[in-house]
Amino acid sequence: MASPSAWKKSRKNILIGIDFLKDVHLGRQVSVGNKVLVIGGGNVAFDCARVARRLGAEEVHVACLESRETMPANMEEIRDGAEEGIVVHPARAFNRVLIDNGCISGVECQEVDACEFGEDGDVQIKTVEDSKHTYQQTRSYLLPGSVRISKRDSSWKPD
């Protein structure tokens, strides 16, 4: 298992959402594979998920920290994504990144019970006991934009 800094170090099967959308818009060749996990719950995340589906991904999942009720994406985006077969996993905390041969092979998560911002601006997350699970065998991981995974790993910074 690898720490969240693996997001930065292993980019072979990671696509950054804005760059991904730009490349598709400009007509560049983009390969997403059959199974895609999009990390985030906003409009850009759903745009990425829906475009990945349209590019041929058979299975597209969106996983985010927010509960379904507090996801920042417009309700229309969420509804349209569901109609296109996007599977949504709200209230997930991302704990670890699994690496195999220099590529991310999975992401370990836990269900979130409560999430709030502390006085210092850091996210305080309470997870559900015994709820660990892993998204594995995913070909591509899409990170929509700025992501701060954990205060515990301050070495990782978004581009």
Specify the pLDDT at position 120.
87
**Position 137 confidence tier, pLDDT thresholds 50, 70, 90:** low
Task: Please state the rounded mean pLDDT for residues 14-34.
Answer: 90
Token pair of 70, please?
Answer: 């507090």
Token pair of 9, please?
Answer: 């170090």
**Position 153 confidence tier, pLDDT thresholds 50, 70, 90:** very low
Q: Kindly report the CATH number that applies to the domain delimited by 6-143.
A: 3.50.50.60
Alpha carbon distance 138, 125 (integer Å): 25
Q: For the segment 43-93, what is each residue's pLDDT rounded down to a tens digit?
A: 999 999 999 999 999 999 999 999 999 999 999 999 999 999 999 999 999
Q: 139: which residues sit within 8 A by CB, 6+ positions away?
A: 13, 32, 33, 34, 35, 36, 57
Segments making up each domain of the chain, as ranges:
6-143
Whether 42 has a pLDDT exceeding 70, the answer reads yes
Q: What global pTM score does this model have?
A: 0.81
